Structure 1
């Protein structure tokens, strides 16, 4: 046990130890770091206190960012021995998902068997009489219209007639009940209007009852299928038109003189298409209201649910058109850069003929899928059993009525899922093939000799990566919308101050969603296809590699991926609009379809028009999607090439490199010097700063550092002022290590002649006079790693100036003169070549 004197002495010693400044040793120098007194009282605290504030803790999002920085997949790519493109020794990836694929299609096959066995598409357009027979079919071929005899008395009593009654008053009698018994049971004829193949009574009460029956969910779906079935030939022509227009755009886009105008024309027509569709839905709402509502009916409710749906769709399309116009105006200048990237992709597509022709195979398969799905849906809507039921006002008081199978119709949801999954899977395999072909082409020195064999490539991808394609298709179908919502929500939460208690509590309450997004959702994208095609790795690992690759190089690629995706989507919309709007015009004004069916049997021409638009988006995605995946692939391959190779080892083509280096710079207005006077001012300022820099003392130290072997000497005010000015210039350019390869110095101006020992620090501001960037090196601010082409690394002790604040960045690689990108007219080429020669020696 310690006595009182010893205890007081121990506490005093501990207090003095806490007050002693900490010494940080670095390269035989000691940096003094001041330490605050932790306790000003001489008494021992009764309980432990926390020596940090709530603000010092990481928020949830900041913790995930720290995890990302330490992730083993968030490292620059290192080329394996003898790397020449996609790996040859491939392995099967995500094989378990093939089992799920088989389960989906086995269930789909069983469902299709029962649907085709019990369905009859003729029931879609035509009604059934009291005998359970279809109007316009068989013995009733000359009587295609269904007539409601007395809806107020019994709405189930119907029979087939030649035409809808134009007047009221005469008696209309039933025909034989069972083809043998003659009946004289008659009703008073009511005037009726034709709606498809139905006669709708003009009498208000009867009209309301008939529309109530036809407006049920089951009958509404059946009438939509009726419009599609009656216009199948016109719809098929719309499919062909969308394929033709998509390919025509690809052909015309190869001419650079009209490519820009063609793309802007597509953007304008996409805007016009949204407005036209809003107008068409508005016209349909008016037509439906005028047909349904007559004198004696409630004007507020007579329109029914269909009129409300048309009005809502009209408003939605007009709002989308307004938003689309605002976004286009806001991104007007930036869209031009996206168009330049599409031109670069078009140049590559023209070189690789396999990319141009393979979409035709995919389009043919997609066309078959769409046609089979259409037939299956028409059969599924008509599956039912005919049962004998009692009736009041009919001979024998019995009639036949069809009872539709509710379970089969609920199965249409599964049909829709299977169809969309199949189309997404086809597009994913197309993207995989395109990425593989582009990777082989990109990582080949003699690119004009590259030929991609169809059978071998498709067989290889199908054999090894079909499971991955299935996995990607499932993710894109179900998780794209949640991912988009979470991405925007996370951006908003990250923008808010992370030290706020409200923000902390909000993040904690949404921890499950945030964790799901950070762990998996954010990696879902088409970029993963590129990594799978190159490295033959599972989907999750490839997706993370692609995500971190884009993240590390976001300063180079900026928003190129977003811009080209937006432009491609606009082109797809324009193509779909151009293919579908003529369908509406034809059905509205022609008397019959191409196969001779009367267009009067089509209740609403907007239904086949909308169906052609949806399928047209798919067919356009096959051809214009080649631009999308080509741009995504080129962006990743360029970034990988810049991380793995340098100088003459690089595989990137000159036209790709020039474009990416141009885009990698900050916005044009921030980099261009607009006036000659400003250029002269920057040159004088640069020369003055450079002269002072070369004449400065090499061994000067900051006021926070001193030599361990020297005593501190008193300094004059003038000398202290000089040191203070120099420290302001040196705070962002301190480094303790030199790169071995090519004497590449970080932060040195081109005109500076390096010495044996690197201790100089360039000034912080040199104006806009010297602007050079080597695009094949990745710079990370803070105490991070700067990865060079040969996997050499340089640890920076202090932050590097951000490119948006610093007037220049110079990463001079002496082994490759071509890596220096000229940005300013003030760079002197002879001096540069002279320095490079000296460094090589």
Structure 2
């Protein structure tokens, strides 16, 4: 901290938590005499961004996003492109071998030949039990490229996996042939090319419905995603205009809420607390009631009567479509809702019982923050800039991730020897034996993905840091003037933004680097934890991973707290990150009793305000889209909760953007208040900068 901000006199206090701030007649808020801070980390940040751009260029030069969109056959060729432009669909010789893909990319590593076809099979039948390939089958049989099946060789071709032996009546989805309407006799699938015979596999065993369901779990996931995704997109299209209206209304309510906070802060905060308690109580009652009701209901009967031998048509795709509404008919869902509502309600009641006095102090601080926001009105619209910057960072990350993933090289394997090969270099007499296995992601590509992920984290936290430093400078300018609001600079927010970019970009880069590193380590730990669950699922590993996850989670929370205080001190004094973090942390420690609880209670009250606005919009949208408001012309939807979820989530983000200004205002004013108490004593020579209302609530008096 600059030397002129601390004066050595006999009244200076010194202890375990550093020297207290002392009176300085020259200090009147954010200093104008600044210099660039933490330039080394600014250089590192620029170098990292340059490397990120290079990776994006390499991915753009070598990548082909079509690999991620369109299906690829066993030779690495994209169906519907190039020489196979007239064959847009991917056919699997034996879908029963695709079950292991449940934990991998669906269909990418299916151990069965895959070829591009112009049309999916229109009938369900098997070739394994045939002795003669008559004319009916010659037009239906599907083989590898440049192979023709005849009556003499079709048996050998099927055994060598050069022609498919089992065919399911299919429909194309995402460029792949997926089973659709299947004929059944009881639980056994029927061969439609015979007179009601059973569908047989290569071991002369009848294929039943349970087998195809159990062995094709990947298909189940794909079908669920397809059906649900299609219906969700359809609902979003139908309600797009209503969603926009909902977002506009959410913005209006959030803005009015912030404006009303300037005059009715006490009333609105207590109303928010009461509203959240009432809503949680109602939610808890409804969830418990639904859980009790569903527990008493009997289970549904099976879709297919096992004992019945009557031939029926079974819609495989429809049976695999787990309607998301069914989750609301699951008692476990309501049990989870009950637990969540009970925990939230319990915490709120404890806060009211044991922190009543702290709540009053927190409300006074929020009232002061309301006055600061009313003086610096541009702060209400400033969050739009950081959010747009975050949107740019996320879009860039997603684009680079797609380009990197599509840069993977195809890996081929010889079916006879099991060795890696290349179709253009194979010396085997049968060129069909060298087949495509997967797109192989080398260590370079994996490292590029990690680099891109770290870039996303660093970029997002950097943007957040810039916004915090800018707002802190504006609200510090408000606090450290005697004549409010006349003495507050007109462009306080943009003045803080200018100082941040002009002098302290390196400090923000350092602070965001620390948080990004911790978050990156947490992601790696989560990845390792998932691997441990799969390969080393034992108690000792679980305990170690749980401790690591908990410790780094706490570390991230602590560092975010340190960062915010450091950014406030940077905005006021213009020092480097480490010096500012130390001074801010020691200032908090010297006032730990007052600061710790009050700061967290204030954050809780702001969160309750956000929840009140969000809950209001959620209830309003529920009544609108469930057709309880008959005067609104709402279209009939597949899932009425889709626009409700979108509007609720969007409302929370919009409310967060407004309340984030309040949060930063409260934190800045609180640190300034603590420093004001150390610098001044309320006398004529050392008057307080705090307002009369804040002075009264906190027990301070002018001498």
Same fold (TM > 0.5): yes
**Distance in 1 between the 2:115 and 2:450 partners?**
31
Q: 235-244 or 114-123, which moves further after superposition?
A: 235-244
Tell me if structure 2 keeps the 8 A contact 1:572–1:620: yes
Structure 1 pair 539/110, CA: closer, same or farther in 2 (3 Å)? same
Corresponding residue number in structure 2 for 1:436: 473
Shift in Å, 1:531: 1.5
Corresponding residue number in structure 2 for 1:652: 690
**Distance in 1 between the 2:66 and 2:233 partners?**
10
1:157 equivalent among 97, 101, 114: 114
Tell me if structure 2 keeps the 8 A contact 1:98–1:466: yes
**Distance in 1 between the 2:19 and 2:249 partners?**
45
Tell me if structure 1 keeps the 8 A contact 2:17–2:586: yes
Structure 1 pair 322/99, CA: closer, same or farther in 2 (3 Å)? farther
Tell me if structure 1 keeps the 8 A contact 2:115–2:144: no
Shift in Å, 1:639: 2.0
1:405 aligns with 2:470: no
Structure 1 pair 553/358, CA: closer, same or farther in 2 (3 Å)? same
1:251 aligns with 2:271: no
1:550 equivalent among 588, 591, 613: 588
Count of equivalent residues:
526
**Distance in 2 between the 1:459 and 1:207 partners?**
62
Tell me if structure 2 keeps the 8 A contact 1:384–1:403: yes
1:190 equivalent among 168, 178, 189: 168
Shift in Å, 1:140: 7.4
Cα deviation, 1:421-480, whole Å, max 9, x if unaligned, reads: 211111111111111111111112222232125554322221221122122223334459
Shift in Å, 1:165: 5.5
Tell me if structure 2 keeps the 8 A contact 1:388–1:401: yes
1:348 aligns with 2:348: no
Corresponding residue number in structure 2 for 1:679: none
2:670 equivalent among 630, 635, 638: 635
SS in 2 for 1:90: coil
Corresponding residue number in structure 2 for 1:327: 347
Structure 1 pair 395/362, CA: closer, same or farther in 2 (3 Å)? same
**Distance in 1 between the 2:446 and 2:652 partners?**
26
Structure 1 pair 529/398, CA: closer, same or farther in 2 (3 Å)? closer
**Distance in 1 between the 2:597 and 2:279 partners?**
22
Any stretches of 5+ residues in structure 2 without a counterpart?
A: 1-12, 98-110, 127-135, 151-162, 183-208, 292-299, 307-319, 417-429, 523-550, 627-636
Structure 1 pair 231/415, CA: closer, same or farther in 2 (3 Å)? farther
Corresponding residue number in structure 1 for 2:269: 260
Cα deviation, 1:504-552, whole Å, max 9, x if unaligned, reads: xxxxxxxxx9xx99xx979824122222211222223322322332333
Tell me if structure 1 keeps the 8 A contact 2:411–2:440: no
Shift in Å, 1:614: 8.9
Tell me if structure 2 keeps the 8 A contact 1:250–1:624: no
**Distance in 2 between the 1:268 and 1:647 partners?**
44
**Distance in 2 between the 1:164 and 1:567 partners?**
61
Shift in Å, 1:369: 1.7
Please list, as runs of the form range in 1=range in 2, the aligned pairs for 1:791-830 lying within 5 A after superposition.
816=702
Tell me if structure 2 keeps the 8 A contact 1:359–1:622: yes
**Distance in 2 between the 1:402 and 1:115 partners?**
19
**Distance in 2 between the 1:618 and 1:465 partners?**
28
**Distance in 2 between the 1:456 and 1:195 partners?**
55
Corresponding residue number in structure 2 for 1:475: 514
User: Larger C-alpha radius of gyration, 1 or 2?
Assistant: 1
Shift in Å, 1:323: 2.9
SS in 2 for 1:403: strand
SS in 2 for 1:624: helix
Corresponding residue number in structure 2 for 1:623: 658
Structure 1 pair 429/128, CA: closer, same or farther in 2 (3 Å)? same
Corresponding residue number in structure 1 for 2:50: 106
Greater RCO, 1 or 2 (C-alpha within 8 Å, sep 6+): 2
**Distance in 2 between the 1:481 and 1:379 partners?**
21
Q: 438-447 or 96-105, which moves further after superposition?
A: 96-105
SS in 2 for 1:447: coil
Please list, as runs of the form range in 1=range in 2, the aligned pairs for 1:126-165 lying within 5 A after superposition.
126-130=70-74, 132-135=76-79, 146-152=90-96, 155-160=112-117
Cα deviation, 1:59-79, whole Å, max 9, x if unaligned, reads: xxxxxxxxxx95576333113
Tell me if structure 2 keeps the 8 A contact 1:427–1:622: no
SS in 1 for 2:26: coil
Please list, as runs of the form range in 1=range in 2, the aligned pairs for 1:648-727 lying within 5 A after superposition.
649-658=687-696, 661=697, 664=698
SS in 1 for 2:382: helix
SS in 1 for 2:19: coil
Tell me if structure 2 keeps the 8 A contact 1:528–1:542: yes
Tell me if structure 1 keeps the 8 A contact 2:676–2:690: yes
SS in 2 for 1:547: helix
Any stretches of 5+ residues in structure 1 without a counterpart?
A: 1-68, 283-289, 297-301, 484-512, 589-598, 665-772, 777-815, 818-841
Normalised by the size of structure 1, how large is the TM-score?
A: 0.50
**Distance in 1 between the 2:482 and 2:509 partners?**
33
Corresponding residue number in structure 2 for 1:378: 402
Tell me if structure 1 keeps the 8 A contact 2:621–2:644: yes
Normalised by the size of structure 2, how large is the TM-score?
A: 0.58
Shift in Å, 1:112: 2.1
Tell me if structure 2 keeps the 8 A contact 1:247–1:623: no
Corresponding residue number in structure 2 for 1:447: 484
1:96 aligns with 2:134: no
Structure 1 pair 175/368, CA: closer, same or farther in 2 (3 Å)? farther
**Distance in 1 between the 2:625 and 2:431 partners?**
42
**Distance in 1 between the 2:337 and 2:171 partners?**
31
Structure 1 pair 254/580, CA: closer, same or farther in 2 (3 Å)? closer
Tell me if structure 1 keeps the 8 A contact 2:472–2:496: no
Structure 1 pair 261/70, CA: closer, same or farther in 2 (3 Å)? closer
CA RMSD, 1 decimal: 5.9
Tell me if structure 1 keeps the 8 A contact 2:272–2:612: no
